[in-house]
Amino acid sequence: MKKQVKTAAVLFLLACVSMTSCNTSKKDNNNNMIEKVSFGKLPDGQETELYTLKNASGMEVKISNFGGTVVSWTAPNNKGVYEDVILGCDSVAGYVKGVPYFGALIGRFGNRIANGKFTLEGKEYTLAQNNGVNALHGGLKGFDKVLWTATPIEGEEPALKLTYTAKDGEEGYPGNLSVEVVYTLQKDNALKIDYKATTDKTTIINLTNHTYFNLNGNLDSDILEHEVTLNADKFLPVDKTLIPTGELKPVTGNVFDFLKSKKISAGINDTTDTQIKAGGGYDHCWVLTDSTKTLKSAATVYEPKSGRVLEVLTTEPAIQFYAGNFLNGTIKGKNGIIYKHRSGLCLETQHYPDSPNKPAFPSTVLKPNETYQTTTVYKFSVK
């Protein structure tokens, strides 16, 4: 009899443990919920997870350990209605099939490196040319396509810690690079992203997040009437392969001036501007006027109908404003919605593209005894 009770208890425990591994809800001390569900299997059979961070005001951010991807994010409009404001897929299968970095963590080097080559401490390194002749966003299997180790963090505000170690030589980059990214959903409807990394060999690094925002709350629409402010007095003109020419060009007097709030539609189709032509619209890196490493306001986006405002703050020196020019109606996203041309915009905080080949640009070199550390905050409000 005693033995039977023991066996039942063990079975019960085992059942609980196995349930916990596939679906858990964890309430922290402040009643914030961090929920975990399956996000589907990878082609090699590995399970992926989807975590939901929810704050007291009702904002919900879903993040997968696949690519550290922000999959959905609800923000209130001026009537208090929460709607999803980012592009993404319903399950991991969509991301595996191939999407242009929706919501993903980008690394080891965000943006382009000319001809997939750079020299560091006298040694030349060759990367995959995965964007025409250039290397883009960390390579064929960048940080957007790897499985991160996720740990929910209890505390005043719900957070998810993601860690990944890229091996020496992975995607052609030198050094074993240990990366830690913490997403924290703050009480004030802001998602804070803290990036940290260390290496055992001198390497290069430029981490960012590639979320596509559409503040309409209707992802079946474009972002052309969004009003953008960029606190940047210069931008980086590019060649026809989108590599910076090296010039830091003042924004005054051209369509790259977002110092005062302006509709995207006002300049994005001005093909008399050679840079708009080169980028197929806005797809450039703006150099922030404040070049200090403090957390400062880099950009603001306002969507007049919904009243939604998104402010981006960062410790980084620059921001890539990409208006979804390559979206062309071929990708089916969440809830079967087809993502049209320019249905999402990205504000990728970062160092300048092709920095490893441009000694005059701020350095992206990380040495073994240093710690890479940056923070970016995406904060929602209404007006």
CB of 208 to ligand GLA, least distance (A): 9
| 146, 191, 346, 366: residue in contact with ligand GLA (rule CB under 6 A) | 346
The token pair that represents 235 in the structure block: 């931008």
The token pair that represents 82 in the structure block: 């929460």
Only one of the segments 73-81, 150-158, 318-326, 367-375 lies at the binding site for ligand GLA (rule: CB under 6 A); that segment is 318-326
- Is 111 within any annotated ligand binding site? yes
DSSP β-bridge partners for residue 372: 197
| 100, 116, 217, 356: residue in contact with ligand GLA (rule CB under 6 A) | 100
User: Rounded to an integer, what distance in angstroms lies between the CA atom of residue 13 and that of residue 1?
Assistant: 18
Binding flag, residue 66, ligand GLA (CB under 6 A): no
Q: Residue ranges of the alpha helices (H) in the chain?
A: 2-22, 92-98, 274-279
SS3 185: strand
Catalytic residue status for 47: no
Binding flag, residue 312, ligand GLA (CB under 6 A): no
Binding flag, residue 32, ligand GLA (CB under 6 A): no
CB of 318 to ligand GLA, least distance (A): 12
User: Rounded to an integer, what distance in angstroms lies between the CA atom of residue 355 and that of residue 182?
Assistant: 25
Sign for the CA dihedral angle at 61, 62, 65, 69 comes to negative
User: Rounded to an integer, what distance in angstroms lies between the CA atom of residue 262 and that of residue 123?
Assistant: 45
CB closer to ligand GLA, 41 vs 341: 341
Q: Which of residues 213-242 bind ligand GLA (CB under 6 A)?
A: 242
CB closer to ligand GLA, 49 vs 283: 283
- Is 134 within any annotated ligand binding site? no
Contact assessment for residue 296 and residue 314, using Cβ atoms and an 8 Å cutoff: yes
Exactly one of 35, 137, 171, 210 is catalytic; which is it?
A: 210
User: Rounded to an integer, what distance in angstroms lies between the CA atom of residue 355 and that of residue 371?
Assistant: 19
- Is 341 within any annotated ligand binding site? no
CB of 9 to ligand GLA, least distance (A): 53
CB closer to ligand GLA, 100 vs 158: 100
SS3 326: coil
CA distances to 65, 69, 80, 144, 212 from 171, rounded to whole Å, are 20, 20, 45, 13, 25
Catalytic residue status for 348: yes
Binding flag, residue 372, ligand GLA (CB under 6 A): no
Residues tagged active-site: 210, 348
Which residues contribute to the site for ligand GLA (CB under 6 A)? 100-101, 136, 242, 283, 320, 322, 326, 346, 348
